[in-house]
Amino acid sequence: MQVAQDLSFISLISHASVLVQLVLALLLVVSLLSWWVIFQKIFTIKLEIQQTEAFEKDFWSGANLNELYQSAANARRDSGTLEKIFEAGFREYAKLKKQSGIDSNSIMESTRRAMRAAYQRNIDKVESHLSYLATIGSVSPYVGLFGTVWGIMNAFRALSNVSQATIAHVAPGIAEALVATAMGLFAAIPAVIAYNHFSHDINRLATSFESFMEEFSNVLQRQSGSN
Amino acid sequence: MRALAREQDKLLSGVLAFAVHVLFVAFLIFSLRWQSKQPDTMEVQLWNALPTPKEVIEVKPKPIEHEQVEPTAIEEPVPEPSKEIQKPDILIKEKIEKDYKKEELLKKEKIKREQEKSRLEELKHAKEKEELEAAQRQQDDVRRQQQEQAMAAQTQIRSEYVTRIQGKIRRLVVLPPDIAGNPQAEFDVVLLPGGEVLSVKLKKSSGYAAYDDAVERAIYKAQPLPLPPDPTLFPSFRELHLKFRPEN
């Protein structure tokens, strides 16, 4: 017959059943991880966009390709995806160019393959953990809902012992249970928003990389044709 | 360089994620605490019945202040005329006795003044009395109001519990078949403090003996009957006059 008057957040959680508490703890951990990934992605994508813009500026300002290759090879670990694509393509091109007896078409083919390999390796790195955000966004509301349903089940089961049922007997239990849904939504909403935002950003980056690859292979073809 | 920057990014994003959650939890705790305070404000509303005596307490000191102020105001004018009168008295005794009339006149004036003063004082006393009486009347009114409120609360509780008792009994009545219309059966029930039924007397039959018996059985079955937790209210429940109809 005890009716909890104090509905503060801490008492709500401490009165909840073990399973609801477990669900809450799980959702808290998941939400922490998702926010960690969100912030990390914010930083990496921002850095990637900056580096891409800087390299495109360098490239189209008419710098010598050899000099660009030297600087890209020296700053290997510090370079962005676009610089790496350029480096891989130019290295392949230069290697095959030294060997005589290979026609320009096959040189261009292998250059493109090298660039594509570098592109895919790097875009994969940028995209990593994004699927994690998508999973959190779609699953955590259900996990929260599970906790809520379980809590409400318990609240109604406790009601069966009481002869005169009032809303005051069920209300605290339902409030406890609903905290789980709130937690699930708190984990899911930012994850979904971030996932959509990041996938849009990464798509834009990928198109800019692909168009750069096309343009760069055109440049190389022109060079090999002129030589 | 890049690796170091990445490590820093990881740490920074971890810290930021943690900060977001601390904010979230703090928001939850505080926002829900505000909600839990709302019942307190509802309890405060229960005090609405009491402010009237407070006003009376505020009124009381006012007449006392008047009493303290007024006597000084009366005393002050008294010595001034007496000095004026004494001085001419001495002068008259030293110089001439012919101005005896003047003295008499002065005496008369003095008497008149004193009479006026006493009259004024009487008036003031009367006023004070009136004020005191008014204050007392107010107090009485407040007391009567409180009593009435208490009575009203009592009758409210009584009617609430009587309906509860009737409801509990009605739920246990097994209606016999073939009752035409909605006849009323009246019972006098004597209760014990625990809610047990001491005696049940049929006051007015419904015309259907089966229904009367069913109600009587239900009254015994409904023991203990619900009574208010305050034992001082029991006397009003000792003897109950209950009316029952098959359909309500």
Query: In this structure, is residue A114 part of a structural domain?
Result: yes
Low-confidence winner among A28-32, A71-75, B53-57, B173-177 (lowest mean pLDDT): B53-57
Enter the tokens of residue A125: 């790195």
Q: What is the pLDDT of residue A1?
A: 36
State the DSSP H helix or E strand holding residue B128, giving kind and residue range, or none if neither. helix B100-172
Query: In this structure, is residue A167 part of a structural domain?
Result: yes
> Percent of chain B, pLDDT > 70?
70
Q: Å from A37 to nearest chain B CA? A: 8
Q: Which residue has better confidence, B94 or B161? A: B161
Query: In this structure, is residue A10 part of a structural domain?
Result: no
Contact predicate A51/A81, CB 8 Å = yes
Buried b (16+ CB within 10 A) or exposed e, B133-164: eeeeebeeeeeeeeeeeeeeeeeeeeeebbee
Q: What is the pLDDT of residue A36?
A: 92
Q: Å from A209 to nearest chain B CA? A: 21
Contact B1 A44 (CB under 8 A): no
Domain ranges of chain B: 52-155, 176-244
Q: Is the pLDDT of residue B9 over 90?
A: no
Q: Tell me which residues of chain B, numbers 7 to 46, contact chain A at a CB-CB cutoff of 8 Å.
A: 9-10, 12-14, 16-18, 20-21, 24, 28-29, 32-33, 35-36, 39
pLDDT mean across residues, chain A: 86
Q: How many domains does chain A have?
A: 1
Measured CB to CB, residues of chain A less than 8 Å from chain B are 5-10, 12, 28, 31-33, 35-40, 42-44, 47, 77-78, 182, 186
Host domain of residue A197: 17-226
Q: What is the pLDDT of residue A227?
A: 55
What burial class does residue A99 get, using C-beta atoms within 10 Å of its C-beta: 0-12 exposed, 13-18 middle, 19+ buried?
Answer: exposed
Low-confidence winner among A7-16, B48-57, B122-131, B172-181 (lowest mean pLDDT): B48-57
Q: CA B120, CA B101: separation in Å to the nearest integer?
A: 28
When pLDDT is cut at 50, 70 and 90, the band that residue B53 belongs to is low
When pLDDT is cut at 50, 70 and 90, the band that residue B234 belongs to is confident
- Strand B185-191 and strand B197-204: the pairing is antiparallel
Q: What is the pLDDT of residue A7?
A: 61
Contact predicate A202/A131, CB 8 Å = no
Low-confidence winner among A72-76, B52-56, B161-165, B228-232 (lowest mean pLDDT): B52-56
Q: What is the pLDDT of residue B32?
A: 67
Amino acid letter, B203: K
For testing contact with chain B, the best of A5, A27, A31, A40 (most B CBs within 10 A): A40
pLDDT in tens, B119-131: 898 898 988 888 8
Residues 6+ away with beta carbon under 8 Å from B245: B182, B183, B184, B185
pLDDT mean across residues, chain B: 76
Q: How many CB pairs under 8 A join A and B?
A: 55
Q: Is the pLDDT of residue A218 over 80?
A: yes
Which residues on chain B are in Cβ contact (under 8 Å) with A12?
A: 32
Dihedral, CA atoms, A13, A18, A20, A23, nearest 10 degrees? Answer: 110
Residue B196 phi, psi (nearest 5) = -75, 155
Q: What is the pLDDT of residue B36?
A: 47
Q: Which residue has better confidence, A143 or B1? A: A143
Which residues on chain A are in Cβ contact (under 8 Å) with B1?
A: 77-78
Distance linking the first and last C-alpha atoms of chain A = 94
Query: Searching chain B, which residue's CA lies closest to the CA of residue A164?
Result: B168
B4 and chain A: CB distance < 8 Å anywhere?
Answer: no
Q: Is the pLDDT of residue B63 over 60?
A: no
Q: Which CATH architecture has domain B176-244?
A: 2-Layer Sandwich (3.30)
When pLDDT is cut at 50, 70 and 90, the band that residue B73 belongs to is very low
Low-confidence winner among A112-121, B67-76, B207-216 (lowest mean pLDDT): B67-76
β-strand partners of B199: B190
Which residues on chain B are in Cβ contact (under 8 Å) with A8?
A: 29, 32-33, 36
pLDDT in tens, A44-68: 999 999 999 988 888 888 878 888 8
Contact A78 B14 (CB under 8 A): no
Query: Searching chain A, which residue's CA lies closest to the CA of residue B20?
Result: A35
Q: What is the pLDDT of residue B50?
A: 55
> Percent of chain B, pLDDT > 90?
3
Average pLDDT of B105-132?
89
Q: Is the pLDDT of residue A187 over 80?
A: yes
Which residues on chain A are in Cβ contact (under 8 Å) with B6?
A: 44
Widest Cα–Cα separation across chain A: 97
Q: Is the pLDDT of residue A8 over 60?
A: yes
**B174 CB neighbour count, 10 Å cutoff:** 12
Contact B10 A31 (CB under 8 A): no
CA distances, B45 to each of A7, B49, B53, B157 (Å): 20, 9, 16, 19
Percent helix / strand / coil, chain B, rounded to 5? 75, 10, 20
Nearest to A40 among B2, B10, B35 (CB): B10
Average pLDDT of B8-30?
88
Contact predicate B162/B170, CB 8 Å = no
3-state SS, one letter per residue, for chain A: CCCCCCCCHHHHHHHCCHHHHHHHHHHHHHHHHHHHHHHHHHHHHHHHHHHHHHHHHHHHCCCCHHHHHHHHHHCCCCCCHHHHHHHHHHHHHHHHHHCCCCCHHHHHHHHHHHHHHHHHHHHHHHHCCHHHHHHHHHHHHHHHHHHHHHHHHHHHHHHCCCCCCCHHHHHHHHHHHHHHHHHHHHHHHHHHHHHHHHHHHHHHHHHHHHHHHHHHHHHHHHHHHHC
Query: Searching chain B, which residue's CA lies closest to the CA of residue A179?
Result: B28
Query: In this structure, is residue A170 part of a structural domain?
Result: yes
Low-confidence winner among A107-116, B124-133, B192-201 (lowest mean pLDDT): B192-201
When pLDDT is cut at 50, 70 and 90, the band that residue B206 belongs to is confident
Enter the tokens of residue B113: 């003044």
Average pLDDT of B36-58?
51
For testing contact with chain B, the best of A6, A7, A24 (most B CBs within 10 A): A7
Average pLDDT of B234-238?
82
Contact A77 B3 (CB under 8 A): yes
pLDDT in tens, A120-174: 999 998 888 899 999 999 999 999 999 999 988 888 887 777 777 777 777 878 8
